[in-house]
Amino acid sequence: MTYSKVQFIAYRIYTGPGHNPDRYVGLSDEAADVRQRVKLMTEAVNAAGARSEVDRRSDVLKVFIAPEFYFRSMYGGYTDMKYFDGEGAGRDPNSIVGGLANAVQDERWKDWLFVFGTSVVVAGPFISPGTSNPDLSRKIAVLNTALVQKGCYATEDERTSKAVAVVKEYKSGEDFGDYPGVKFKNDDLAHFPAGPISYASEVNTPGRSGGGGYDNGSIFMLDNITFGLEVCADHGMGCLRKATPLAGDVFVQIQLIPSGGMIIFPASVATLKGGLVSNVDGATPQTTNTNSDAAGFHSQLYSVLIVGQPSTLRDVR
């Protein structure tokens, strides 16, 4: 499919911790928690699809973005990968991936791209390279993963050809709090170490033959569009901006930032003139962000005005 325009739909919702006392909010049964969050996300998707403002022309790509931390249990992170991608092959409706896949498979979603926020899952001890042995000298690995899915498909192979998972590379102070009820303390957890940033290392290939979209890099191509996705702190660190294209590579055209405490930094924008950058944030820092809402969330959309990459707010609008 070739698209000539893009319409962004922001799911503006607070995804930070609850207060009085500070805690992560959720159901004690993690499987029930997953099903309920998938149900609420499905309702949000259906509500977005019914909005009169949606441009239903087939040459307009609709991009739905939810904020970081939408899928996070009351324990700070789900305690088993089965809650993320299910048990066994196919689309397990009791998992985050399976439940969301079932929600957007119909024909009406064929021109929609969904960024379902992120899920936080404690993956277990680090495994020593080349072995199956846990490295007990290192911290417990945790995955904060953005789920991206193009809608409308008939088979699991077709679904995976339109899906990617982008893992957050940099752990920030917003990722984990030592609140009552958490099963793992902040100091015990670490993200998988990020490798050297390069364009090649950031490429994430949809489809099973190329890794099933689980290559975890932040650059992916769908419908002849080059997307870049940075989860929160990765944007602040300029991951995409540092992934310099080489001869034959394509600059990012649409940059997506699901976050929990982040704004768009022009110096971290990776697109060129005419490129689009969208941030949907679920835990706005009230004291620092002039674009924040009282509810603690915000959304932003910029286009690049200059030839080359921007450095200040004068270079974007």
- Per-residue pLDDT band for 165 (boundaries 50, 70, 90) equals very high
In this predicted model, what pLDDT tens digit does every residue of 270-302 receive, in sequence order? 999 999 999 999 987 544 444 444 568 999 999
pLDDT of residue 21: 85
CATH fold of 5-315, please? Nitrilase/N-carbamoyl-D-aminoacid amidohydrolase (3.60.110)
Q: What is the mean pLDDT of residues 189-207?
A: 83
Minimum mean pLDDT range among 35-39, 134-138, 173-177 = 134-138
Residue 147: pLDDT over 70: yes
In this predicted model, what pLDDT tens digit does every residue of 252-276 receive, in sequence order? 999 999 999 999 999 999 999 999 9
pLDDT of residue 142: 86
Minimum mean pLDDT range among 77-86, 136-145, 223-232, 239-248 = 136-145
pLDDT of residue 130: 58
Residue 125: pLDDT over 60: yes
**Mean pLDDT of all residues in the chain?**
89
pLDDT of residue 290: 47
pLDDT of residue 128: 57
In this predicted model, what pLDDT tens digit does every residue of 67-95 receive, in sequence order? 999 999 999 999 998 999 887 666 788 89
pLDDT of residue 294: 56
pLDDT of residue 278: 97
pLDDT of residue 210: 59
- Per-residue pLDDT band for 156 (boundaries 50, 70, 90) equals confident
Distance CA 57, CA 43 (A): 23
Q: Could you write out the DSSP letters of every residue in the chain?
A: ---SEEEEEE-----S-BTTTTB----SSHHHHHHHHHHHHHHHHHHHHH-TTS---TTEEEEEEE-TTSB--TTSSBSSTHHHH-SSSS--TTSHHHHHHHHT-SGGGTTEEEEEEEEEEEEEEPBPTTSS-B-TTSPEEEEEEEEEEES--SSHHHHHTTEEEEE--S--TTT----TT-SS-GGGEEEPPP----HHHHB---SGGGTTT-SB-SEEEETTEEEEE--THHHHTTHHHHS---TT----SEEEEEESS----GGG----TT-EEEEEESS--TTT-TT--TTS-EEEEEEB-SSS---SGGGB-
